[in-house]
A and B are shown apart, each in its own frame.
Chain A
Amino acid sequence: MIANSFLGKLPCEIVLPDDTRAQASAAQHVFDPADERRRFPRQRTRFDAALRYYNTFPALNRKEGMYRVMIRDLSRGGVGFLHGEEMFPGENARLVFPNGAERYLQVKRCRRMGPKCYVIGAEFDEPLQDLTEGRWR
C-alpha cells in the first residue's frame, strides 16, 4: 500500500485548466477513437498514483523522482491519466498504484488540455489481473 499521505507529498505539476469545459474534458478520457479497438474495456475512474520516468528520451532531461498523476481511466491493458508535463509516444514510465501494485507503461498518445495539464494514454507492459476499483484504489 502507498499511504495517501505519501502520495499527497509527491510533486504534482498538474494545473487543471480554468475554464470548465476544458476541465470537464480533462476529467474524462479523450481518446475515444481507439475505444472500439481496445482489447480491454476501459473504466472511467478517479484516483491518484505515482509515476516515475523510466528509460525515457535523453534529450528531455527528465528529473529523477516520482510525480503524483491523476488516473482518469483504466483498463486491464492501459491507463489514461493527467500529468503536468507533456509526454512523448514511446516514452516509458513506471506507475505505482495506491495499493502498491506497479506496472511499466509506454506512452501511446498525449494531448494538451492546458499549460500544465496533459492527458496521456499509455499501455501497460503486462495486463492488470483485475480491474475492481477497490483493488486499485
Chain B
Amino acid sequence: MLPPVGPSGGPREPMHIGTVDSFDSREPLSTVSTLGTNAGSEARVESIERLGFLPVAVDTITASIALPFDLFVRTDPRVAPVLFRERQLALEAGDFDRFGDQGISTLYIRVADHVAYRSFLLDTVLRDEGVSVGKRFRVLQVANRAVFQLAFSSRNADQLVGFAGEYGEELARLVSDESVAACELLDLMAHDYYTYTHVTNVSVLVLLIAGRMGMGASDEIVALARGAVLHDIGKRHIAPVLLNQERPLTRRQREAIQEHAKLGFLELCHRRDVSWDQLMMVYQHHERCDGQGYPVGLVADEIHPWARMCAVADVYDAMSSSRPYRPAIPLKEVWEVLEGDRGSQFDREVVKALRAVVSS
C-alpha cells in the first residue's frame, strides 16, 4: 500500500520538472522570462521554494539504486505529497508495479534536492551506454529543466553561464555520439516553444548543422553548444506579456522585444568565461544575410558564422513550434521560408546542411 496522504494544502501546482515520455511542462515562456527582472525573479524563486516540492516522472527513477534524495508521493492533487522512500533507499520493481496499478506517473522531491536528482539521472541513465540514445536524450532534458529554470530566473548571469557550461558539454557529447542518428534526435524534440525546450532544440540543431558542415574539433563543438544554450539570455529582461502577446505587436513593442539580442550581449560581454564567438551568437542571431535583421543590419559574412548557424536553427525551431499567438507552422512552409525567395535572409550553406540533417 502507498502511505496515507497528508493534510491538504499544496498552495499551487509546483513547477514540473517534466516527464520522460511527454514534455509536460507547465512552465510557459512568460513565467520563466518574467524572472529576468529582479523583482520577478526573486518572487518566482521564493514561491518555488515556498512550495517545497518538485514533481519528477516515475520512469526517470531506476530501480534498485539507492536514491540520493527523499522521494514523495501524492495520490490526490488536492493534498500535499508525503514521504514514500527515504534517501539512501531504493525503489524496487514491486513499487513500480504499484505505481502502475494506481495510475501514478509522478513522484515528488524537495526543491532543495533538485541538484541531487539531476546528478542521479545523469549517473544512472546518461552514462549508461546500455540505455537507448532516445531515452538518454530525453533524460538529459528532464534532468536539466528545473536547473535551467532556476538559473534563468536568477538575479545575475552566473548560474545560467554555469548551466550553459555543463549542459552544452552534455548535449555536445550526446550529439557527437556516433551511434546517434540525427533524425532520431529530431523526432524527440518537443515543439512547445517553452524557453527551455527552445534552447535545447536550437542547441541540438546548431550542433547537427555544425557536424554536417565539418566542424570537428571537440572543444569548438562544446563552445558552440554553450553559446547556443545562452543565445536568448537577453529574453530574461523582456516583459513576458510582450513575449506572449496574442494580438499583433506595435512597432514599439517589436522594438522592445528586439532589444533582447543587445541586452544579452551587454549582460555577458565582460565575462571571461564567455568567448567572443559565443557572444556573437547572442548578439547576432537575429541578423539576416540580406541586411534586414537586427540589431545592426549586417549582411552575409559580416555575420559571425556561429550566429548564422544559430539564426537558421532559431527560425526552424521557432516556426515549427506553437506560439502563444499561433499554432506550429507546417514544415513545408518552414522550408519555403528557409529556402525560397526569402531564403536570401539565411546562409545558403547552413540551410543546406540543415536540410541534409533533417532528411538523413
| Inter-chain contacts of B270 with A (CB < 8 A) | 90
- A134 cross-chain contacts in B, Cβ below 8 A: none
- Asked if B353 CB lies within 8 Å of chain A CBs, one says no
- Interface residue? B266 (CB, 8 A): yes
B5 within 8 A of A: no
Neighbour of A112 across the interface among B262, B275, B283, B298, CB < 8 A: B298
Q: How many residues of A contact B (CB 8 A)?
A: 12
A86 within 8 A of partner (CB): yes
**A residues less than 8 Å from B302 (CB atoms):** 86, 112
Contacting residues, chain A, for B96 (C-beta < 8 A): none
B297 interface neighbour in A59, A89, A111, Cβ under 8 Å:
A111
Identify the 6 closest CB pairs spanning chains A and B, nearest first.
Answer: A59-B276, A112-B297, A112-B296, A89-B262, A90-B269, A33-B255
Cβ contact within 8 Å between B265 and A57: no
Asked if A42 is an interface residue, CB under 8 A from chain B, the answer is no
**C-beta contact mask, B266-288 vs A, less than 8 Å → 1, else 0?**
10011000011000000100000
Contacts of A110 in B (CB 8 A): 295-296
| CB of B68 closer than 8 Å to a CB of A | no
Tally of chain B residues near chain A (CB < 8 A): 17
Q: How far is the CA of A90 from the CA of B265 in the complex (A)?
A: 9
Query: Considering the chains assembled together, what is the distance between the CA atoms of A110 and B295 in angstroms?
Result: 7
Q: Does B342 contact A (CB under 8 A)?
A: no
Report chain B residues within 8 Å CB of A118: 296
Q: A33: which B residues are within 8 A, CB to CB?
A: 252, 255
In the complex, whether B134 has a CB less than 8 A from a CB of chain A is no
Whether A89 and B265, one on each chain, are in contact in the complex, defined by CB atoms closer than 8 angstroms, is yes
Are B276 and A109 interface neighbours, CB within 8 A? Answer: no
- Contact with B295, one of A57, A59, A90, A109 (Cβ below 8 angstroms): A109
8 A Cβ contacts from A55-75 to B: 57, 59
Interface string of A73-112 (1 = CB under 8 A from B): 0000000000000101110000000000000000001111
Task: Given A89-B265, A90-B269, A109-B262, verify A57-B291 contact (CB < 8 Å).
Answer: no
Task: Report the bound CA distance from A90 to B269 in whole Å.
Answer: 8
Task: Please name all residues of chain B whose beta carbon is closer than 8 Å to the beta carbon of A57 when the two chains form the complex.
Answer: 269, 276
Say whether A112 contacts B291, CB under 8 Å: yes
Chain A interface residues toward B at CB < 8 A: 33, 57, 59, 86, 88-90, 109-112, 118
Check B265–A88 contact: CB distance below 8 A.
yes
B255 with A111: CB separation less than 8 A: no
Given contacts A109-B262, A112-B296, A112-B298, A88 and B269 within 8 Å (CB-CB): yes
Bound Cα distance from A111 to B255, whole angstroms = 14
The 0/1 profile, CB within 8 Å of A marked 1, for residues 119-145 of chain B is 000000000000000000000000000
A114-B103 Cα distance, complex, nearest whole Å: 63
| Contact A86–B269 (Cβ < 8 Å) | no
**Closest-CB distance, A57 to chain B (whole angstroms):** 7
- Most chain B Cβ neighbours within 10 Å, of A33, A59, A88, A111: A88
Q: Which of B252, B266, B275, B299 contacts A89 (CB 8 A)?
A: B266
**C-alpha spacing A59/B279, complex, angstroms:** 11
Q: In the complex the two chains form, is A86's CB within 8 Å of B298's CB?
A: yes
Chain B minimum-CB-distance residue to A91: B269
* Least Cβ–Cβ distance between B63 and chain A, in angstroms: 50
CB nearest neighbor in A for B276:
A59
- In the bound assembly, the distance between CA atoms of A112 and B299 in angstroms comes to 9
How near does chain A come to B115, taking the closest CB pair, in angstroms?
A: 33
The minimal Cβ–Cβ distance linking A59 to chain B, given in whole angstroms, is 4
Of the listed residues A59, A89, A110, A118, the one surrounded by the most CB atoms of chain B closer than 10 A to its CB is A89
